[in-house]
Structure 1
């Protein structure tokens, strides 16, 4: 059984454009206080029906490539039955089926066990809701 369970809410403003927001630094800061050199698991969860959590490289074009791929897979047009908000908003409600609203990552000696080019990212295609909550939870 675990000795430690700690959780924190991040408030993230994504703006009015589709975005891939890098949360890696926020996760690392949280673990500095919560994990304190312990091994365990970090769970990242976004409690929204139109956003997801992805592990990917950022800054080298992969984040833009992801958004472009989502446009191909989930076009923002009038094909969606879910119709409210901006045109094509129904696609935003399908996003979490492709990019889940959660990720669980290993923490070793208090640090995220990510690959060299991996980052923890919030993926938000919903232009109608710029304010997001992200829950970080450490179990160790």
Structure 2
């Protein structure tokens, strides 16, 4: 199994960061043909999503998360910046993993799909992402 880690700078505001090119680069480095690419975020306050980016869907996702999980004082988890407890609930809605089929060395994504890191935690500006290719 090929496995590598990336450090992704997410900064101090909520972001949807497209990882698709990073995934494609890892597949080239692995010499991948057919199999599965597993993407894992070892953090309690970040998740992964497969969605369209660049046409407003990423901003829509962040807006929906703000409505569903407001950054206010309702949360029992209270360390960090105000409302940080909501960041710890995020992975229940956007899991910290995604697995994508790989066919002929390419991600078998739909036309408009991208693999994205979703990070609403403004207290942690750098995230680790592990990419693991399992040959089939």
- Shorter-chain-normalised TM-score: which range? over 0.9
How many residue pairs end up in the alignment?
A: 135
SS of the equivalent of 2:76 reads coil
2: CA distance, partners of 1:53 / 1:70: 13
Instruction: Give the counterpart of 2:120 among 114, 125, 130.
Output: 125
Q: Are 2:83 and 1:88 aligned?
A: yes
Q: Any idea what the Cα deviations from partners look like across 1:85-137, whole Å, max 9, x if unmatched?
A: 11000000000000000000100011100000000000000000001000000
CA RMSD of aligned residues (A): 0.6
2: CA distance, partners of 1:71 / 1:125: 9
2: CA distance, partners of 1:61 / 1:32: 29
Report what 2:12 is aligned to.
16
1: CA distance, partners of 2:48 / 2:125: 16
TM-superposed deviation, 1:33 = 1.7
TM-superposed deviation, 1:61 = 0.3
Report what 1:7 is aligned to.
3
Q: Could you state the TM-score of these two structures normalised by the residue count of structure 2? A: 0.98
Q: Are 2:111 and 1:116 aligned?
A: yes
Report what 1:56 is aligned to.
51
Q: Could you state the TM-score of these two structures normalised by the residue count of structure 1? A: 0.95
Question: Is the 8 Å Cα contact of residues 35 and 138 (structure 1) preserved in structure 2?
Answer: no
Report what 1:43 is aligned to.
38
TM-superposed deviation, 1:32 = 1.0
Q: Which stretches of structure 1, 4 residues or more, deviate above 6 A after TM superposition?
A: none
Question: Is the 8 Å Cα contact of residues 54 and 123 (structure 1) preserved in structure 2?
Answer: yes
